[in-house]
């Protein structure tokens, strides 16, 4: 049988529209794809990803490079780097679709340091779309979204996708971070002195913050915040679902939580990825098998989104 995903991905060029710092180490990069990329990405789903070739992008001015990254920033970049999207806008034009993609990235190594220097008009090579995204169950009426750290962009994309394509679905978002400073979104002080996440506010999606050190929102893990919230709500298993992306311990906690409330749950897993297309086997995820033992699936090709019940977690 033909592999539909393999046929529907390719290498193409994107033009940088803008590249702005949101806060601390987080930036927002907006790209416009060429005709080939726009055709490939017109039906992309939240949770899918792309790979950027940043090997020919130069380093920013030394003063812009965070001090702790100055030594590693100079390393040569051999491999493309994977990124999800926080939004995808498809505009139908007479000559074909025009796709604009927003990527939120965190600066933490040689490739992401180089991304800081991208400016409007620059062109970069993109490979994608890759992987399998979140699938929206039929009749979904209540979506509970959990985002943690670098895993937040696809959750924001899922929120805007549900708003656009499933208007009857009630969405509540929960965002976890180590501290207020490391929240990956734009934050403002709301009417009642609580902090508001502007990206979710713009979508009219209610959002809740949890921080490990209590510097913003709930003091504790985001999964504990959601547990308290679910105890006060009635989310029906046949019309509600949990969707999450973040570090593995958070995903393991989310899987337990969803199980306790008998809710279906999809999680987007994080793995270091070399090829991104199922060739190098570097991104294995251990999955429970029907026979009672385990098998391996590739995060880049079979995921990154998996049913939470299927995954065997190693960092719980």
Ligand X SMILES: Cc1cc2nc3c(=O)[nH]c(=O)nc-3n(C[C@H](O)[C@H](O)[C@H](O)COP(=O)(O)OP(=O)(O)OC[C@H]3O[C@@H](n4cnc5c(N)ncnc54)[C@H](O)[C@@H]3O)c2cc1C
Contacting residues toward ligand X, per CB under 6 A: 49, 81-84, 103-106, 108-112, 150, 153, 270-273, 304
The answer to the question of residue 202 lying near ligand FES (CB under 6 A) is no
Q: Which does 109 bind (CB under 5 to 8 A by kind): ligand X, ligand FES, none?
A: ligand X
DSSP letters, 92-155, are EETTEEEEEEEEEEE--SHHHHHHTT--TT-EEEEEEEESB---PPTT--EEEEEEEGGGHHHH
The entry of ligand FES, ligand X, none near residue 281 (CB within 5 to 8 angstroms by kind) is ligand FES
Residue 278 engages ligand FES in binding (rule: CB under 6 A): yes
Q: Are 179 and 216 in contact (CB under 8 A)?
A: yes
Contacts with ligand FES, 246-275, as mask; x by CB under 6 A: ---------------------------xxx
| Of residues 208 and 301, the one with the C-beta less far from ligand FES | 301
CB 52 within 8 A of CB 81: yes
Cβ distance to ligand X smaller for residue 183 or 263: 183
* Residue whose CB is less far from ligand FES, 143 or 275: 275
Binding-residue total with ligand FES (CB under 6 A): 12
Sheet-wide strand order for 142-148: 218-219, 207-211, 170-177, 142-148, 240-245, 265-268, 305-307
Contacted by 111, from ligand FES, ligand X, none: CB < 5 to 8 Å by type: ligand X
Task: Indicate the residue among 93 and 272 with the shorter CB distance to ligand X.
Answer: 272
Classify residue 304 by its DSSP letter.
Answer: B
270 binds, among ligand X, ligand FES, none (CB under 5 to 8 A by kind): ligand X
Beta strands in the chain (DSSP E): 10-23, 26-33, 49-53, 81-84, 87-93, 96-106, 123-130, 142-148, 170-177, 187-189, 195-197, 207-211, 218-219, 240-245, 265-268, 284-288, 294-298, 305-307
At its nearest, how many Å lie between ligand FES and the CB of residue 164? Answer: 30
Does the protein bind ligand FES through residue 282 (CB under 6 A)?
yes
Two structure tokens written together for 74: 């100079």
Q: Which is nearer to ligand FES, 198 or 286 (CB)?
A: 286
Which residues contribute to the site for ligand FES (CB under 6 A)?
A: 273-276, 278-283, 298, 300
């Amino acid at each position: 049988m033909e592999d539909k995903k393999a046929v529907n991905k390719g290498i193409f060029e994107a033009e940088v529209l803008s590249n702005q710092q949101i806060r601390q180490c987080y930036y927002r990069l907006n790209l416009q794809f060429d005709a080939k990329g726009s055709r490939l990405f017109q039906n992309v789903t939240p949770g899918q990803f792309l790979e950027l070739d940043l090997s020919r992008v130069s380093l920013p001015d030394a003063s812009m490079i965070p001090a702790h990254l100055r030594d590693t920033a100079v390393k040569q970049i051999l491999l493309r780097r994977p990124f999800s999207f926080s939004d995808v806008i498809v505009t139908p034009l007479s000559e074909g679709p025009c796709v604009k993609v927003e990527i939120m990235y965190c600066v933490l190594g040689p490739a992401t340091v180089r991304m800081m220097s991208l400016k409007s008009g620059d062109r970069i090579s993109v490979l994608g779309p890759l992987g399998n995204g979140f699938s929206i169950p039929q009749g979904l009426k209540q979506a509970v979204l959990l985002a943690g750290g670098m895993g937040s962009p696809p959750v924001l994309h899922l929120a805007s996708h549900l708003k656009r394509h499933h208007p009857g679905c009630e969405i509540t978002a929960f965002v976890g971070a180590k501290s207020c400073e490391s929240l990956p979104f734009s934050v403002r002080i709301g009417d009642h002195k609580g902090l508001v996440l502007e990206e979710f506010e713009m979508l009219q999606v209610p959002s809740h913050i949890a921080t490990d050190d209590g510097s913003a929102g709930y003091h504790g893990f985001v999964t504990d915040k959601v547990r308290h919230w679910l105890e006060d709500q009635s989310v029906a298993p046949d019309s509600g679902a949990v969707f999450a992306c973040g570090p593995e311990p958070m995903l393991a906690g989310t899987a337990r939580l969803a199980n306790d409330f008998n809710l279906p749950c999809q999680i987007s897993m994080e793995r270091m990825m070399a090829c991104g297309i199922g060739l190098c086997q570097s991104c294995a995820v251990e999955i429970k098998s029907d026979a009672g033992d385990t098998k391996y699936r590739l995060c880049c090709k079979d995921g990154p989104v998996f049913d939470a019940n299927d995954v065997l977690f190693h960092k719980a």
